[in-house]
Structure 1
Amino acid sequence: MFRCSNDEARRGDCLNRRLILVFSLYALLPTLVVPLMLLPLSPAWGGLLVPLVLLTNSWWAFQHEAMHGTLLHDKRANRLIGRLHAIAFGASFDLLRWGHLLHHAHSRTIRERSEVHEGERPSVGFVVAYYLRIGGGLYLAEVIGTLVLLLPRAVLVRLVGYLDRPDNVVGELGVRLLEAPVLRAARIDALCVLLFHTGVFWFYGEYAWMYALALAGRALAVSFVDNAFHYGTALDEPRRAMNLALPPPLSALILHFNLHGAHHLRPGLPWWQLPSYHRAHDLGYQHAWWPALFRQLRGPIGAARFETA
């Protein structure tokens, strides 16, 4: 019932092509249009960056479709669009893609449960790392991880070995990214990220602080939402995630990314089919959007609490 028919596939491609145009304009506005065309008219145009930052998670959801290969049926076109938008976002497409696919494989296992600590109390370092992660650190790690890929391969191998632990996916991510063709493409992306965003800062000139604030807002928006769908959910169930209630127009605005539980059950389902799947399987909502986001501020949760729940 939920497999795309040929007609549905064509409609989906048509809809996504329109989204490609919309989000390509979105990506160009803060990087080229604002600094080169609008700021010379008046610094007040910098205010346009605020709504663009607020739409960060819509753009992320669009890129998420490319990561799953559901943006376009043409695999080469899907990958090209994904890479271009990832560069504008500030990271390598393959780093984002493999990081996300490993999230699907290991979510809520010991390798990927960022708020869960062992022992009676979390260490100070764990607490600090947790709040840094949801406060923008996830995006910062993606940007830094991208630039690190420009280092010699031998250095990367040693770095992966040093960072790999049972409670992260660095080892598996490294195995995939260090394959010759993948690393070559990721390095091209990394170089483009470095040159492109350096150029954007140069375009802004004396207003470079505006772009820096926009990137900080992007970091917060992406990082704060990322684990909200999983915070406090049952352990060792990678296919489990929460569906968060939003008014239909806002759900559509973020490409139904709030239906994350449905997405984890059917990762290959295009965004526009998620509402039908969600209704047909009576998946319901486990929290409302905003309360789910802010409940993360309660901080780390002890693993023992899950065992006694």
Structure 2
Amino acid sequence: MPNYLDEAQRDEVLRLRQRFTGRSEWPTWLLLLGVYSAWVGLLLASHRLGLWPTTLLMIPLLVLWMSVQHELLHGHPTRWLWLNKALGYAPFAVWYPYTLYRDTHLAHHRDEDLTLPGLDPESRYLSREHWQHTSSLYQTLRWLDKTLPGRVVLGAPLALIALAREAFVSLRQGQRQAWLMWLTHAAFTLLMFWFIAGFSDVPVWHYLLLISVPALSVSMVRSYYEHRPTERPEQRSVINEAAWPWSWLFLHLNLHLVHHDLPGLPWYYLPRVYQSRREQWLARSGGFLVQGYGELFLRHALNPIDSPQHPSA
């Protein structure tokens, strides 16, 4: 339990974990069952639904699936890591192997390294030296990526290019674990494509480019202003008081400081813990508060939210 929580906060978290819901984690089990059933059901029903209605339903489902995978890698709904991995290994979102996502994201939870390029695997910032050695075209793309529409359009392609570059380097170096991870992921992905091609009206290329990539783009809305570079680590994670459907699609990860401070707290308890001590969380964040994603759209449709260069890296 973090040592900065007062006694009342500690008691509240412990009490929640000891409840039947906290011990059984039935909301996460229900969510898992729902996502798997909906994915299979939508594809099987695509003959009747039609291609584009299926597409429009599949995109938010994949966004939700990525949020579920995030919950699994943090130790839910079971204490057995191998079982959580098996539950979350399905490559519905295609691009990121579960193992890679798990390892990089857990490294991202070293709060003292948050936002620092080269140390935080999920940092969206560049060091001054790196910035100075990039082309003017790339710098323009990174500035556009700092607007919210730019993040939606460019965020996924930039992330996938970086992923391909890192995968190529690790495979070229002959890293055994990288080869095992990517070959296993490729095998399951091909099996998934076989199911899509054989049992649905959704072409594989359509699923790949017009469902999985847009889903990744929607998920980029959450990470757009999740962290900021500032001196104190606890003031680097946002509290975004987003409403439904965003908060549900992201499983309340918009309350990001609460998640970083209590990474073992299941998704369905995050709002309760935040609301019970809202003023304390806001004070701890240094006022790093956003009133929903609509505010970000209005303020940063054209204006970059900050610089792509990290101010101190």
What is the TM-score normalised by the length of structure 1?
Answer: 0.71
* Cα distance in 1 for residues equivalent to 2:182 and 2:234: 27
After superposition, give the CA deviation of every residue in 1:93-113 in whole Å (9 maximum; x if it has no partner). 111111212222232223344
* Cα distance in 2 for residues equivalent to 1:144 and 1:196: 21
When you count helix as a share of all residues, which structure comes out higher? 1
After superposition, give the CA deviation of every residue in 1:53-97 in whole Å (9 maximum; x if it has no partner). 13443222111101111232343321211112xx12213111111
Of the candidates 256, 275, 284, which is equivalent to residue 279 of structure 1? 275
Of the candidates 172, 184, 191, which is equivalent to residue 155 of structure 1? 172
Of the candidates 47, 70, 76, which is equivalent to residue 70 of structure 1? 76
Indicate conservation of the 8 Å contact 2:72/2:84, yes or no: yes
Identity %: 19
With over 3 angstroms needed to count, the CA separation of the structure-2 counterparts of 1:80 and 1:206, relative to structure 1, is: closer
* Cα distance in 2 for residues equivalent to 1:187 and 1:140: 18
Tell me, yes or no, if structure 1 residue 60 matches structure 2 residue 66: yes
With over 3 angstroms needed to count, the CA separation of the structure-2 counterparts of 1:38 and 1:262, relative to structure 1, is: same
* Cα distance in 2 for residues equivalent to 1:239 and 1:179: 38
* Cα distance in 1 for residues equivalent to 2:100 and 2:180: 12
**Residues 2-41 of structure 1 aligned to structure 2 (within 5 Å):** 2-3=13-14, 4-5=17-18, 7-11=20-24, 13-29=25-41, 32-33=43-44, 37-39=45-47, 41=48
With over 3 angstroms needed to count, the CA separation of the structure-2 counterparts of 1:215 and 1:57, relative to structure 1, is: closer
More displaced 10-residue stretch of structure 1: 183-192 or 21-30: 183-192
With over 3 angstroms needed to count, the CA separation of the structure-2 counterparts of 1:98 and 1:179, relative to structure 1, is: farther
Aligned length: 273
**Structure 2 spans left out of the alignment, 5+ residues:** 1-10, 283-287
The match for 1:110 is: 117
**Residues 40-51 of structure 1 aligned to structure 2 (within 5 Å):** 41=48, 44-51=50-57
Indicate conservation of the 8 Å contact 2:59/2:214, yes or no: yes
Letter in 2 for 1:22: G
* Cα distance in 1 for residues equivalent to 2:179 and 2:203: 35
**Residues 284-295 of structure 1 aligned to structure 2 (within 5 Å):** 284=282, 286-291=289-294, 293-294=296-297, 295=300
Letter in 1 for 2:221: F
Cα deviation for residue 21 of structure 1 reads: 0.6
**Residues 109-258 of structure 1 aligned to structure 2 (within 5 Å):** 109-111=116-118, 112=120, 113-115=123-125, 118=128, 123-129=136-142, 131=145, 135=154, 136-137=156-157, 140-141=160-161, 144=164, 148=167, 155-157=172-174, 178=175, 180=177, 184-197=180-193, 200=196, 207-208=203-204, 210-211=206-207, 212-230=209-227, 232-234=228-230, 237=233, 240-247=236-243, 251-258=247-254
CA RMSD, 1 decimal: 3.8
Cα deviation for residue 271 of structure 1 reads: 0.9
Cα deviation for residue 264 of structure 1 reads: 1.3
After superposition, give the CA deviation of every residue in 1:209-243 in whole Å (9 maximum; x if it has no partner). 6423112311211233323212x452572773111
Cα deviation for residue 49 of structure 1 reads: 1.9
The match for 1:166 is: none
